[in-house]
A and B are shown apart, each in its own frame.
Chain A
Amino acid sequence: EAGVVQSPRYKIIEKKQPVAFWCNPISGHNTLYWYRQNLGQGPELLIRYENEEAVDDSQLPKDRFSAERLKGVDSTLKIQPAELGDSAVYLCASSARQDGELFFGEGSRLTVL
């Protein structure tokens, strides 16, 4: 069974440029999470989806970050415009149910110059 797939694995951009990350969760997993992991830190939740509904986006900086999960399967996280402080690894995770085990993808490492 395929795990959580994320792309791109690495992205280097100039500040003020836009960037997008894509995530395909494990088949059948209704709950999808986007976490941000700064260097030397633990993952911090950005947004959580139940199917196509964002049920927890309180930590998402909505002035520059947006996310969507249109058909309740794959998801896209966008940053526009990117700032230097956005350099981090963006992790996508999915679970079969709200209180189930989280399965993480390998992450998308963003470097903003």
Chain B
Amino acid sequence: QQQVKQSPQSLIVQKGGISIINCAYENTAFDYFPWYQQFPGKGPALLIAIRPDVSEKKEGRFTISFNKSAKQFSLHIMDSQPGDSATYFCAATPLGNTPLVFGKGTRLSVIA
């Protein structure tokens, strides 16, 4: 049973455009929601994370929007650049000692 459902599977965005990736979860015990970025041949790296006490978190061009009632969260990349081309994973876990559960990933391609 997949605990975190991510969409779309792949995304092509023009340079300067907005990239939007969505995730949905079922487990109401989840209370930590990070996004990881992975380049080919590299391990995932934390990009940005949110806890459910806020509905939005912004760091530079990256924003997480969180909808607790809908059990959904999304990543927005503003002014997308070719260097943002990577695979993005959403993840979730209950706060504490339970490890992260990852979505299946979204392959983003930003074209000039």
- Taking Cβ atoms with an 8 Å cutoff, the residues of A that contact B are 4, 33, 40-45, 48, 50, 55-56, 91, 93, 98-99, 101-107
Given pairs A42-B91, A102-B46, 6 additional interface contacts (CB within 8 A) = A42-B6, A93-B43, A98-B96, A99-B95, A103-B46, A104-B45
A44 near B43 with CB under 8 A, answer no
- Taking Cβ atoms with an 8 Å cutoff, the residues of B that contact A are 6, 32, 34, 41-46, 49, 89, 91, 93, 95-105
Consensus secondary structure, chain B interface: loop
> For A45, what are the chain B residues with a Cβ–Cβ distance below 8 Å?
99-101
Known: A42-B104, A42-B105. A106 touches B42 (CB 8 A): yes
Chain A residue at smallest Cβ distance from B46: A101
A103 to B45, CA, bound (A): 7
Contact pick for A48, options B99, B103, B105, CB 8 Å = B99
Distance (Å) between the CB of A51 and the closest chain B CB?
A: 13
Distance (Å) between the CB of B63 and the closest chain A CB?
A: 19
